[in-house]
Structure 1
Amino acid sequence: MKYLVLTLCFLSSLVFADEFSKYLKSQKRVVIQAQKFIEAGEFDQAEQLTSKAITLYPKDDMIYALRGEALYQAKNFEPAEAMFMQALNLNPLNAVAKGYIEEIRSTSELSESVLSQEWKSVARDKVGDFIVLVIGIWLGTTLNTIGARVARWRFRMHSKKLFLANDFDDFADLLEIQLASNELKPLRESMAFMLTHKTLSESIEILEEYVNSPDHLATFKRMLESDAKRMGVKA
């Protein structure tokens, strides 16, 4: 029985190795698949994949950010913060890492504030204590919302800079990340931005060359065609 268990574990590790190897062939595949694992709640899978990918692509800030996100979602906050900081060291404009760092700092400051207020309010009226706590939580939530909006704004600005610099490969990567994370409003803005600088046919040609996933490409085409019709852009 013991040998059977060991054999099954060994075979299972081979299966995971084979599964990861196909994603490790390119940085783009790693980013897209890690995002899919995170969306599916498979944080351990995402962490294992990005951990292997970091050894192959040690300068890719997005892989560090996604590993941090997987660790963060799995409640491993300290190593997650280390990954986000490494991502920002490589690319200070990394929106994912920036957003999570701001959230971590805001949460930490809120916790310290609430703890301090609780100690001070021992001699106060219970109603007063409750009001102080509610205000603290409201402020923390507001700061988190503002931080997330700033992170999304920086992400969009970085995307536009890539497009204007003709860095269509990285631009397409960001589009796929937006779609995978269901950021539809920013994605719509990116599509409209393309159509203000390129014709519909030119925009589709760019996506056909640089988008990795056929499913994503089909979605992008539909969105472009819909936006082009709405904006009155010629083919």
Structure 2
Amino acid sequence: MNKVERIIWIVCLLVTLTLLVGIYDSRAEALSSNSDVVTELSCGRIGQELMDREEHELAISNLEACLRVYPKSDWLYSLLGRAYFKSGNLEAAETQFRHALEINKNNPVAKRLVVEMRKTQDLLKDRELSEWVGIAKERAADLATLVIGVWLGMFLSGISSRFYAHFMKTNFRKALAKKDYDYATDILEDLVVERKKAELRKRLRELLEESSLEDAKEMIIEYVDDRDIEAKLVHFLVQIHKKSKTT
């Protein structure tokens, strides 16, 4: 083998080695790429399986861990958004879907679920508003019922008080006219016990219109059994008599 043949042989050998190294690197890169794809797919499948079993919190944590390895995967972001959506966290779901659309604006899952989520949020707002309106109506109705009840109670109380006063006045005068002093003094005793001083003064004035001070005192002393009530009635009677003399 001469010198020229040796040079040619060495050049061929170098070219062959270079080609072999290039082929090896290309295959290694392809294998690495395929490994990444399989790993990303397995992450997504695990997350989907967890969602199918309604283990949403576990799916969220798994997908978040996967996104730390594959931060540019719009598919994993859309899966994470779906997991948040199914768990009821609409705000977090919308954030993840928007991340997916930032990476791939044509991501069909993210687009569709963002629209559905907006509809759901609008429905929830409308439902919440209707609930507040219903509560406000109930409170207003309760307040109106309370006001009407209080007003009606006061109205009926006023009517019953006036009716009772008129009834007692009529009965007291009838008792005096019939000389039924036992019943007349019973009415006076009840007014003392019930502390109805205004009505008591009216009845004592009516008594003084029908009889003298001394006769009225004798009637009270004779027909009233309770000594304390008797003393109070006599005291009031004397005071009213004095005031009537001065006016």
Larger radius of gyration: 2
Scaled by the length of structure 2, what TM-score is found? 0.42
Larger RCO (alpha carbons 8 Å, 6+ apart): 1
TM-score, structure 1 as length reference: 0.43
